[in-house]
């Protein structure tokens, strides 16, 4: 197939017209739905539509706008968002108190020169150091979560001279080559093996296993760079470690000279009821911490790492580019969103809201479990990172479909639909939460009937 620039220009102008229009006709909406299905099947990946059908039974729901608690499709159907973009929308959708700063920056300049000093990056780094625990100080900004993890892994090797990593079974740190090497689910690793070889996986929540792995490697002459762990394993089904686990990891890493990395991409920025999940244990300060998802306020993609001064050695001062040089990392638009997000979270106590509303969810989920004991096997969470667990994946899919039918958006975790997530915006009202609980009750009832429970 040869390139057809004239046809491409015509198609681009047609789509550009859709973007500019404030109101679309019924025929235009129908055409966009038809185009979207064809484009995904021919130019994206038909698997996306097959996956979506498994939940919605209709791949033709095309998102077109959003606001606060909702996604809205082309025809005006509102979906209560209890998926939260896997943790992106802690401050809600297009929060006007964040969006206005991004618009103002867009009207000034959008991307940095790569040569002059861009002030917003410096301001954001300073603010981040002010809201993170301990002496975390030096920040490096990236675009996606996996990229942030890559920077953390590289920095650990630069700072310690070690080569081995200790990760955990069930971990999820992204899908780039280094990040997925740390991952703890075989289905995501096996297609790419061999990958980074100097990685050992131990049981999550078992600090003694981490200590044993480090000491065994050091005994046979191997140097360990870092332990990487999620303060709560999100994609593994919201697995919460025993109390004292994070603090004990800090002690072990201090004793053995190993860097400690906390991956707070999903658990941080207020999601779990504190600004950072590691704050629940006094003294559990990592050497390197990743952040992302909600960091851009649900408006701009921005992620990164922040590290203690002892991690930021001469390598990085002599050659500032050695760690990485992402073209769009820390760009002014993204930084404006993150700065406004930090301001909004502090002024409106978003972590406190997440805790209070999460406690309300948990109280209501206990009532639902008492009402549906054969179906709702377990529920757990911290703040507004909540998991519902069912006896089988088919039952979880059924409940998710039932919620979608009632215009509540949820999804499984990367375990599978045996565990589904509740991860709504922290700005969700109490009234909406009660509506979600009511619709969940109805969906549970339908699934009980379907499986003759």
In this predicted model, what pLDDT tens digit does every residue of 234-285 receive, in sequence order? 999 999 999 999 999 999 999 999 999 999 999 999 999 999 999 999 999 9
Per DSSP bridges, beta strands 419-422 and 411-412 are antiparallel
CATH number listed for the domain at residues 96-348: 3.40.640.10
> Stretch 121-146: mean pLDDT, rounded?
98
pLDDT of 58:
56
pLDDT confidence bin for 54, thresholds 50/70/90: very low
Could you tell me the CA-to-CA distances from 114 to 139, 263, 321, 330 in Å, in that order?
A: 17, 28, 12, 11
Place of tokens 């089904």: 237
CATH architecture of the domain 61-90+350-450 equals Alpha-Beta Complex (3.90)
The two tokens of residue 75 are 């025809």
> Stretch 134-158: mean pLDDT, rounded?
98
The two tokens of residue 110 are 């959008």
The Cβ of residue 93 has, within 10 Å, a number of other Cβ atoms equal to: 22
Question: Which element (helix H / strand E) includes 432?
Answer: helix 430-450
pLDDT confidence bin for 417, thresholds 50/70/90: confident
Q: Indicate if the pLDDT at residue 442 is higher than 60.
A: yes
CA–CA dist 167, 81 (Å, integer): 32
Q: Where are the alpha helices (DSSP H) in 118-244?
A: 119-131, 145-160, 177-182, 186-189, 207-219
Q: Indicate if the pLDDT at residue 136 is higher than 50.
A: yes
Could you tell me the CA-to-CA distances from 175 to 166, 188, 323 in Å, in that order?
A: 17, 8, 19
Coil/strand/helix, residue 429: coil
- In the chain, what percentage of residues exceed pLDDT 70? 97
The Cβ of residue 293 has, within 10 Å, a number of other Cβ atoms equal to: 27
Q: Indicate if the pLDDT at residue 56 is higher than 60.
A: no
CA–CA dist 212, 1 (Å, integer): 58
> Residue 175: which of 185, 163, 167, 165 has the closest Cα?
185
> Stretch 196-204: mean pLDDT, rounded?
96
Exposed / middle / buried, residue 187 (Cβ in 10 Å: 0-12, 13-18, 19+): exposed
CA–CA dist 155, 313 (Å, integer): 10
Place of tokens 């922040």: 306
Place of tokens 């090797």: 157
- Ranked by mean pLDDT, the top range of 160-169, 314-323, 414-423 is 160-169
What pLDDT, in 10s, does the model give residues 345-360?
999 999 999 999 999 9
CA 354 to chain centre: 16
Q: What angle do CA 264, 141, 66 make, to 5 degrees?
A: 70
The model's pTM: 0.96
> Stretch 402-431: mean pLDDT, rounded?
91
Q: DSSP state, 236?
A: T
Angle of helix 350-371 versus helix 332-348 axis, rounded to 10: 70
What pLDDT, in 10s, does the model give residues 391-408?
999 999 999 999 999 999
HSE of 334 in the Cβ direction (CA atoms, 13 Å)? 22
Exposed / middle / buried, residue 132 (Cβ in 10 Å: 0-12, 13-18, 19+): buried
Peptide bond into 101 cis (omega under 30): no
CA–CA dist 101, 98 (Å, integer): 6
The two tokens of residue 426 are 């922290």
CA–CA dist 335, 321 (Å, integer): 20
Q: What angle do CA 272, 273, 275 make, to 5 degrees?
A: 85
Name residue 141's beta-bridge partners. Answer: 304
pLDDT of 52:
61
pLDDT of 1:
61
CA–CA dist 86, 265 (Å, integer): 10
* Residue ranges per structural domain of the chain: 61-90+350-450, 96-348
> Stretch 174-189: mean pLDDT, rounded?
93
Could you tell me the CA-to-CA distances from 423 to 252, 293, 426 in Å, in that order?
A: 32, 12, 9
> Stretch 16-29: mean pLDDT, rounded?
96
pLDDT of 411:
85
What pLDDT, in 10s, does the model give residues 209-237?
999 999 999 999 999 999 999 999 999 99
CA 258 to chain centre: 26
pLDDT of 189:
92
The two tokens of residue 317 are 């001062």
Ranges 78-92, 337-351, 369-383, 412-426: which has the least confidence: 412-426
What does the chain come to in residues? Answer: 453
Q: Indicate if the pLDDT at residue 324 is higher than 50.
A: yes
Name residue 199's beta-bridge partners. Answer: 165
Q: Indicate if the pLDDT at residue 425 is higher than 50.
A: yes
CA–CA dist 240, 233 (Å, integer): 7
pLDDT confidence bin for 13, thresholds 50/70/90: very high
Q: Indicate if the pLDDT at residue 2 is higher than 80.
A: no
Q: Given strand 411-412, what is the order of strands in its sheet?
A: 378-382, 385-389, 419-422, 411-412
Question: Which element (helix H / strand E) includes 382?
Answer: strand 378-382
The Cβ of residue 324 has, within 10 Å, a number of other Cβ atoms equal to: 15
pLDDT of 61:
83
């Amino acid at each position: 197939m040869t390139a057809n620039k004239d046809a491409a220009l015509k198609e681009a102008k047609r789509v550009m017209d859709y973007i500019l229009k404030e109101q679309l006709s019924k025929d235009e909406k129908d055409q966009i739905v038809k185009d979207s299905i064809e484009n995904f099947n021919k130019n994206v990946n038909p698997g996306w539509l097959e996956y979506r059908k498994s939940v919605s039974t209709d791949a033709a729901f095309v998102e077109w706008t959003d606001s606060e608690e909702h996604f809205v499709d082309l025809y005006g159907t509102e979906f209560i968002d209890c998926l939260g973009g896997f943790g992106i929308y802690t401050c809600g959708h297009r929060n006007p108190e964040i969006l206005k700063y991004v618009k103002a920056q867009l009207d000034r300049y959008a991307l940095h020169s790569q040569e002059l000093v861009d002030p917003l990056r410096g301001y954001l780094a300073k603010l981040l150091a002010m809201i993170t625990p301990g002496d975390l100080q030096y920040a490096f900004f990236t675009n996606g979560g996996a990229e942030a993890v890559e920077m953390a892994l590289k920095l650990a090797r630069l700072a310690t001279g070690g080569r081995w990593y200790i990760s955990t079974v069930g971990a999820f740190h992204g899908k780039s080559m280094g990040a997925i090497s740390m991952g703890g689910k075989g289905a995501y690793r096996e297609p790419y093996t061999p990958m980074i070889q100097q990685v050992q996986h131990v049981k999550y929540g078992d600090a003694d296993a981490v200590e044993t792995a480090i000491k065994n490697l050091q005994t046979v002459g191997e140097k360990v760079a870092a332990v990487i762990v999620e303060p709560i394993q999100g994609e593994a089904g919201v697995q919460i470690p025993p109390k004292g686990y994070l603090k004990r990891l800090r002690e072990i890493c201090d004793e053995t000279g190993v860097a400690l990395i906390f991956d707070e991409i999903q658990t941080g920025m207020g999601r779990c009821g504190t600004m950072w999940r590691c704050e629940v244990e006094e003294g559990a300060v990592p050497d390197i911490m990743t952040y992302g998802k909600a960091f851009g306020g649900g408006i701009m993609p921005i992620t990164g790492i922040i590290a203690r001064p002892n991690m930021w050695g001469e390598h990085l001062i002599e050659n500032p580019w050695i760690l990485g040089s992402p073209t769009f990392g820390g760009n002014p638009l993204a930084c404006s969103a993150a700065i406004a997000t930090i301001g909004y979270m502090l002024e409106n106590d978003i972590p406190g809201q997440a805790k209070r509303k999460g406690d309300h969810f948990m109280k209501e989920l206990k009532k639902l479990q008492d009402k549906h004991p054969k179906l709702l096997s377990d529920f757990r969470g911290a703040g507004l990172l909540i998991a519902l667990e069912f006896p089988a994946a088919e039952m979880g899919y059924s409940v998710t479909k039932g919620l979608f039918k009632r215009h509540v958006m949820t999804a499984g975790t990367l375990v599978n639909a045996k565990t589904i997530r509740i991860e709504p915006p922290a700005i969700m009202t109490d009234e909406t939460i009660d509506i979600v609980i009511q619709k969940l009750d109805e969906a549970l009832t339908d699934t009980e009937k379907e499986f003759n429970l």
